Structure 1
Amino acid sequence: MNTDPEKHSSGKTKVLILGGTGEMGQWFTHFFKERDYEVTVWGRGGKVEVARKLNVPFASDLEAAIPENDIVIVSVPINATEETIAEVAPKMKAGSLLMDFTSTKVKPVEAMRRFAPANVEILGTHPMFGPTIPTIRGQTVILVPVNGRSEKWFPGIRQLFEESGAHVEITTAAEHDRLVSVVQGLTHFAYIAIGTTIDRLDFDIKKSRKFVSPVYSIMLDFVGRILGQNPYLYALIQMENPGVPEVHEAFIKECEELSSLVRAHDEEGFVRKMKAAARKYDDTAHALRRSDKLINSRITEYETIMNSVGKVCGFSHFYSGKVHVGTLEKVGPNEIIITKLASKGTAPHIKNKFIRLKLENLRLLSESELREWRKENLKHAIRDISVLIPEDADPEVILGAVTTNNHLVACQISDTYNGTKGTETENEKRGTERLGVTYRITIFGDCNADSVETEVTTLLCGLGCRVREKNLRLKE
Structure 2
Amino acid sequence: MVKMNVGIIGGSDGLGKTLVYYFRDEFNVFITGYNPEKGKRAADELGVNYIESNAGLANISDILVISVPIQYTSEVIREVAPFMKSGSLMVDVTSIKEEPSKTMAEVLPETVEYIPTHPVFGPRTTSLDNQVIVLTADKKGEWYPKVYNYLAGKNMRIIETSAKNHDFMMSIVQVLTHFSFISTASAIEKLSVDISETEDYESPIYNLMIDMIARIVSQNPYLTYNIQSRNNYGPKVRNALADSVIELRDVINNGDEEEFIDIAIKATKHMGDIKNALGRSDKAISALSYEYTYLNNSIGQEVGLKHIYSGKIHVGILESIDGKTAVLKDGNKTKKLRIANIRILLPSELYQWKIDNWNTKTESISCVFPKNVHVETIEDTVMNIDNIIDIKLTDAYNGPQIDDDSISLTFEVTGLDKEDIENVRKLFTGFGGIIR
Normalising by structure 2, what TM-score?
0.92
2:160 match: 170
1:65 match: 57
* Greater alpha carbon shift after TM alignment, 366-375 vs 81-90: 366-375
State the Cα distance separating 1:317 from its structure 2 match.
2.5
- 1:365 corresponds to 2:338: no
Q: Alignment partner for residue 250 of structure 2, among 260, 265, 280? A: 260
Counterpart residue type for residue 339 of structure 2: L
Seen in structure 2, the aligned counterparts of structure 1 residues 459 and 258 have a Cα distance that, compared at 3 Å, is: same
State the Cα distance separating 1:89 from its structure 2 match.
2.1
- 1:144 corresponds to 2:136: yes
- 1:273 corresponds to 2:268: no
Seen in structure 2, the aligned counterparts of structure 1 residues 431 and 85 have a Cα distance that, compared at 3 Å, is: farther
What does residue range 153-302 of structure 1 map to in structure 2 within 5 Å? 153-302=143-292
Identity %: 31
Aligned residues: 434
Counterpart residue type for residue 360 of structure 1: A
Structure 2: gaps spanning 5 or more residues: none
Counterpart residue type for residue 437 of structure 1: T
Matched residues in 2 for 1:467 and 1:107: separation?
A: 82
Seen in structure 2, the aligned counterparts of structure 1 residues 244 and 467 have a Cα distance that, compared at 3 Å, is: farther
Seen in structure 2, the aligned counterparts of structure 1 residues 402 and 93 have a Cα distance that, compared at 3 Å, is: same
Secondary structure class of the residue paired with 2:49: coil
2:22 match: 31
Secondary structure class of the residue paired with 2:317: strand
Matched residues in 1 for 2:151 and 2:347: separation?
A: 29
Matched residues in 2 for 1:72 and 1:435: separation?
A: 69
1:456 match: 424
Q: Alignment partner for residue 109 of structure 2, among 117, 139, 143? A: 117
Seen in structure 2, the aligned counterparts of structure 1 residues 379 and 82 have a Cα distance that, compared at 3 Å, is: same
Matched residues in 1 for 2:147 and 2:372: separation?
A: 59
State the Cα distance separating 1:363 from its structure 2 match.
2.0
Matched residues in 2 for 1:218 and 1:84: separation?
A: 38
Q: 1:395, 1:437 within 8 Å by CA — same for their partners in 2?
A: no
State the Cα distance separating 1:333 from its structure 2 match.
3.7
Matched residues in 2 for 1:66 and 1:393: separation?
A: 74
2:3 match: 12
Secondary structure class of the residue paired with 1:145: coil
Q: 2:6, 2:30 within 8 Å by CA — same for their partners in 1?
A: yes
State the Cα distance separating 1:338 from its structure 2 match.
1.8
Seen in structure 2, the aligned counterparts of structure 1 residues 404 and 151 have a Cα distance that, compared at 3 Å, is: farther
Secondary structure class of the residue paired with 2:59: helix
- 1:437 corresponds to 2:410: yes
1:6 match: none
2:355 match: 375
Matched residues in 2 for 1:435 and 1:97: separation?
A: 71
Counterpart residue type for residue 302 of structure 2: V
Counterpart residue type for residue 337 of structure 1: V
Counterpart residue type for residue 120 of structure 2: M
Counterpart residue type for residue 351 of structure 2: R
State the Cα distance separating 1:224 from its structure 2 match.
0.8
Counterpart residue type for residue 274 of structure 1: A
The CA deviation string for residues 62-110 of structure 1, in whole angstroms up to 9 with x for no partner, is 4333222210000110001001111112211111111000001011111
Secondary structure class of the residue paired with 2:264: helix
Normalising by structure 1, what TM-score?
0.85
The CA deviation string for residues 123-142 of structure 1, in whole angstroms up to 9 with x for no partner, is 11111111112111121111
Matched residues in 1 for 2:231 and 2:153: separation?
A: 30
Matched residues in 2 for 1:199 and 1:16: separation?
A: 42
Q: 1:389, 1:395 within 8 Å by CA — same for their partners in 2?
A: no
Structure 1: gaps spanning 5 or more residues: 1-9, 341-350, 470-476
Counterpart residue type for residue 390 of structure 2: C
Counterpart residue type for residue 383 of structure 2: T
Matched residues in 1 for 2:379 and 2:148: separation?
A: 47
Seen in structure 2, the aligned counterparts of structure 1 residues 242 and 406 have a Cα distance that, compared at 3 Å, is: same
Seen in structure 2, the aligned counterparts of structure 1 residues 82 and 23 have a Cα distance that, compared at 3 Å, is: same
Secondary structure class of the residue paired with 1:270: helix
State the Cα distance separating 1:430 from its structure 2 match.
3.2
Q: 1:389, 1:437 within 8 Å by CA — same for their partners in 2?
A: no
Q: 2:395, 2:409 within 8 Å by CA — same for their partners in 1?
A: yes
Q: Alignment partner for residue 416 of structure 1, among 395, 400, 410? A: 395
Q: 1:384, 1:439 within 8 Å by CA — same for their partners in 2?
A: yes
Counterpart residue type for residue 416 of structure 1: D
2:68 match: 76
Provide the aligned C-alpha RMSD in A. 2.3
State the Cα distance separating 1:462 from its structure 2 match.
5.9
Counterpart residue type for residue 352 of structure 1: N
Q: Alignment partner for residue 356 of structure 1, among 317, 336, 344? A: 336
The CA deviation string for residues 18-39 of structure 1, in whole angstroms up to 9 with x for no partner, is 11111211111111124x1221
- 1:48 corresponds to 2:44: no
Q: 2:133, 2:159 within 8 Å by CA — same for their partners in 1?
A: yes
Secondary structure class of the residue paired with 2:318: strand
Seen in structure 2, the aligned counterparts of structure 1 residues 204 and 436 have a Cα distance that, compared at 3 Å, is: same
State the Cα distance separating 1:306 from its structure 2 match.
1.1
